[in-house]
Structure 1
Amino acid sequence: MSEQVLDNAQQLAPGEARCPNEPSTQDIIAKDRVTAPDWVRSESYRFLGDEDIPKGRYIDPEYAKKEYEKLWTRTWQFACREEHIPEVGDYYVYDLGRRSFIVTRVAENEVKAYYNSCLHRGTKLRPSGTEGCASEFTCPFHGWTWNLDGSLQKATCHWDFPHVEAEKFNLPEARVELLAGFVFINMDHDALPLEEYFGPEFMSHINSWGLENRYIHCHVAKRIPANWKLNMEAFMEAYHVIETHPQVAVSNADANSQYDFYGDHVDRFISPLGVISPHLRGQYTEQDILDQFTVGDSSVLAGADRKLAEGETARQRMADMLRDMFEKGTKADLSGVSDSELLDCFSYTIFPNTFMFPGISLPMVYRFRPDPEDHRKSFYEVFFMRPVPKDGERPEPAECVWLEDHQSFTEAEGMDPGFGNILDQDTENLLAQQQGLEATAKDGLTLGNYQEIRVRHFEQTIDKYMAD
């Protein structure tokens, strides 16, 4: 860092510094041919302090136990998509730590989530990781049976249980709310309704995306050797791109990225693509930026005209190519979709454990869950979502591909190899980070005021739940 840059940064109020002499995300988007909607062009940041984040929350098993009691039991979590349970009787088992839930459609417009445990002697009614269709839920141990609506249908040898009152033996439920095709559950019956939990700003965003009109075409999961919070925080900033993903830095404006947060439970970044990293300014031409660009079905892009006209930018040509590619691939009309939505990376953290990427080029959902056997490990899932074809029926959601610990994301069926390599790069850092935090003499993590604000915002929300 030059002395001049350091002096300039120190003259600004905390949190005001931005990448010197570079356009902002909004400056970049403002030059696009197809104008971005309001939710893209909004900003919502403020300085949240610069104290270190204590390392104990990542390495202390007692802290992990308290998280289960104070955080996971009181927050809204994405359990499944409605497409997993489209018909009455369809169910999907969602596990969180040692807790397990049967999420099932009990009527056309009603979904319930039952604690996955027999009220006789506690046996799981449905195995973890399963889904299917049922007209009733029968315990495989002694045959006690519950109707789809959760009422007790049969207690085997009921004559031996005169003390069991059927009306008091309904399956206990978690709360359920549906939003944009997602099924959310919450164990706390006194928690805020989902819309209040998210807040009006985010609700205006998600209602603009049409995620209910997408389907899961690839679902990949893997156990990662790091605490669930480290796993999540690896994806909360673009600060790591230049070192971790040098192959994409040529067309990723990493240090120009925009960071926002909305209330306690939602934050985001917008990372512009088709624009060179400020770290590489002057080393590549606009033609170089376009030449190295690939996404999704590279064979389609390979057939596109990649010769830029005089004065044409790589970003605009990328947006045009993506519009053409996705219109052909999805048979959907994208003429009204902005260049930014087609091209840029939009990442929203949905507290506590979900990321939504509503853009067209990176239409994904991430979900992170702690490993109940080891607080230093966690589960990472990637759901790739595509628009439902306008001229056809909704495809069945892809089954989950569970990778072994040693496997690369590139080995998963349906995974784009280039993106699989990026996920490998992201997760390969995490074992070293987990081990480093256990080895360090330093008491905590030091964060940037702007580029790592999502990490601070996330941890401050955790503090609020852990303190109550």
Structure 2
Amino acid sequence: MSEEVVPKSGEARCPGVSVQDLLDEDSRDVPSYLRKQSYEFLGDQDIPFERYTTKEYFDKEVENLWSRTWQWACREEHIPEPGDYYVYDIGPYSVIVMRTESGAINAYRNSCMHRGTKLKPSFSSGSSQSIRCPYHGWDWHLDGRIKSLPCEWDFPHVDKAKTDLYSVHCDVWGGFVFINLEAEPLPLLDYLNPLPEHIQSKVFEDRYIAQHIQKELNCNWKIASEAFLEAYHVMETHSQLMRTNGDANTQYDFYGDHVSRLINVAGIPSTFCEEELTEQQILDMFLVGDRDDVADELVVPEGGTARQVMAEQFRQSMAKSGQDISQVSDSEIVDSIAYFVFPNQQFFSGVSFPIVYRFRPLGMSHDKALFDLILLKPRPVGEVVEPAEPVRLKVEESYTTVPGMDPYVGHVFDQDTGNMQAAQEGAATAGKSGATLANYQEIRVRHFHETLTRYLEEI
């Protein structure tokens, strides 16, 4: 009798159909980036709870993380015309993103060169003909050059040629404007690698912000972010999804220091679902995209699958609006394909529900966070669409109260954010020193912390 082979650490996978098995059954050609798998075992040490609970660790992040990483600040459509600006705030740092007279996008530290006054209010946006200090009236051109300072005769010691606003590195990918406060940062495309190789920038460029929700949370920003780095929580937190979500069969990958990915398959039941479901039953519970676009009744043909039917329905819906996605794979339509970019942003590349997350500390609080959720929709050809204004939710307020939010989707986000305060408070009172992670399903969390350690400790 042969002995049972015990897999090495990190090699175990949930039984059942894999992401790659489902890609084999796709009704269209599958792009190569979905076939690329990139996982390795990174150890099984606990993650110290002090990373979430102490002001000392937060201060290290302020000094060595937020000042040295690329973060998306706004979308290009937020600043379409010269003079349009958008203020991005992260911890103590505040950056003005400005469209200049030439149409270029510049970024500046939000601080007057006189006595340091903030030039624009935090979280503000608008349009101005110059950048003028509200305190003493020092004034700059949109490109950051000094324009005038009152009583110039009293500043003979000031070299106006050296009084331009402090520039901040900025660049654009996918319609997102990224900023980096570091003096000589890694180029954005190198930092994002391999995301630009996997996903064409145009996928996000040709969309606009249809919905923007900001949720205040009683937890460290990392606890908020990490809730969306794995599907391990689905069976407990979102048990209603188990009939149509292959949670434990999710594929996890990471690339270099800054990028990780999950492919969470939809249209198949969880391996933990005890019901025997037909493809038709799965389809009846399984919807992607706008629910208003779904016909009254969809039928799975003999030999077909719920995934294929739902993908084809979405292709037809998009065709009616002039969008040709006839050759886009089933997976890119129905599955959650999420790319995390260190330290605080996640981009979902699927065409049916393209959403983007961002997580930040709320002010200078180590135990409070702000979660930005934006929903992108295709921009109508030849039309200019104003981006949706942010809707701010307090901790106790539900996503389902946001105008235009699908109640079903809103409930899912309520479930996610509903765990976060308990996670923060539990970490503070824990009898053990750190969080224990799964070797595979929570590898993106571990990969994140490995990179975080490098930024904070290997300077």
Name the CA distance, whole Å, in 1 between partners of 2:5 and 2:229: 25
Name the CA distance, whole Å, in 2 between partners of 1:336 and 1:367: 31
SS in 2 for 1:203: helix
| Structure 1 segment 213-232 matched on structure 2, within 5 A | 213-232=206-225
CA positional deviation for 1:402:
0.9
Name the counterpart of 1:337: 328
Name the CA distance, whole Å, in 1 between partners of 2:384 and 2:333: 22
| Structure 1 segment 387-426 matched on structure 2, within 5 A | 387-390=378-381, 392-426=382-416
SS in 2 for 1:438: helix
Q: Output one character per residue of 1:217-266: Cα deviation in whole Å (capped at 9) or x when no partner.
A: 11110111110001000000111111111111111111111000110000
More helix by share: 1
Residue-pair matches, total: 457
Name the counterpart of 1:176: 170
1:156 is aligned to 2:150 = yes
Name the counterpart of 1:355: 346
Retained in 2: the 8 A contact 1:175–1:185? yes
TM-score by length of 2: 0.96
CA positional deviation for 1:324:
2.3
SS in 1 for 2:282: helix
Retained in 1: the 8 A contact 2:82–2:103? no
* Residue 46 of structure 2, aligned match among 52, 57, 63: 52
CA positional deviation for 1:299:
3.1
1:18 is aligned to 2:13 = yes
Retained in 2: the 8 A contact 1:256–1:271? yes
1:318 is aligned to 2:310 = yes
CA positional deviation for 1:424:
0.5
CA positional deviation for 1:125:
1.0
Name the counterpart of 1:39: 33
Name the CA distance, whole Å, in 2 between partners of 1:149 and 1:291: 55
Q: Output one character per residue of 1:161-220: Cα deviation in whole Å (capped at 9) or x when no partner.
A: 222211111110111111121111101122211122223x32211326621111111111
Higher alpha-carbon deviation: 292-301 or 147-156: 292-301
Name the CA distance, whole Å, in 2 between partners of 1:299 and 1:8: 55
SS in 2 for 1:153: strand
Structure 1 gap segments, 5+ residues each = 1-6
1:29 is aligned to 2:19 = no
1:75 is aligned to 2:69 = yes
Q: Output one character per residue of 1:388-437: Cα deviation in whole Å (capped at 9) or x when no partner.
A: 223x3131111111112221011112322111111100000011110000
CA positional deviation for 1:116:
0.8
Retained in 2: the 8 A contact 1:202–1:262? no
TM-score by length of 1: 0.94
Name the CA distance, whole Å, in 2 between partners of 1:407 and 1:15: 39
Name the CA distance, whole Å, in 1 between partners of 2:235 and 2:227: 14
Q: Output one character per residue of 1:30-82: Cα deviation in whole Å (capped at 9) or x when no partner.
A: 10111221112221111111111111100011100110001110101111111
SS in 2 for 1:125: coil
Retained in 2: the 8 A contact 1:215–1:387? yes
| Structure 1 segment 90-129 matched on structure 2, within 5 A | 90-108=84-102, 110-129=104-123
SS in 2 for 1:324: helix
Name the counterpart of 2:278: 285
Name the CA distance, whole Å, in 2 between partners of 1:146 and 1:420: 43
Retained in 2: the 8 A contact 1:209–1:358? no
Name the CA distance, whole Å, in 1 between partners of 2:178 and 2:195: 16
Retained in 1: the 8 A contact 2:92–2:364? no
What letter corresponds to residue 326 of structure 2 in structure 1? S
CA positional deviation for 1:10:
7.3
Name the CA distance, whole Å, in 1 between partners of 2:289 and 2:13: 31
Superposition CA RMSD, Å: 1.7
Name the CA distance, whole Å, in 1 between partners of 2:288 and 2:17: 24
Q: Output one character per residue of 1:82-130: Cα deviation in whole Å (capped at 9) or x when no partner.
A: 1111222211111111211110112545211111111222221111122
Structure 2 gap segments, 5+ residues each = none
Name the counterpart of 1:4: none
Retained in 2: the 8 A contact 1:253–1:276? yes
Name the counterpart of 2:298: 306
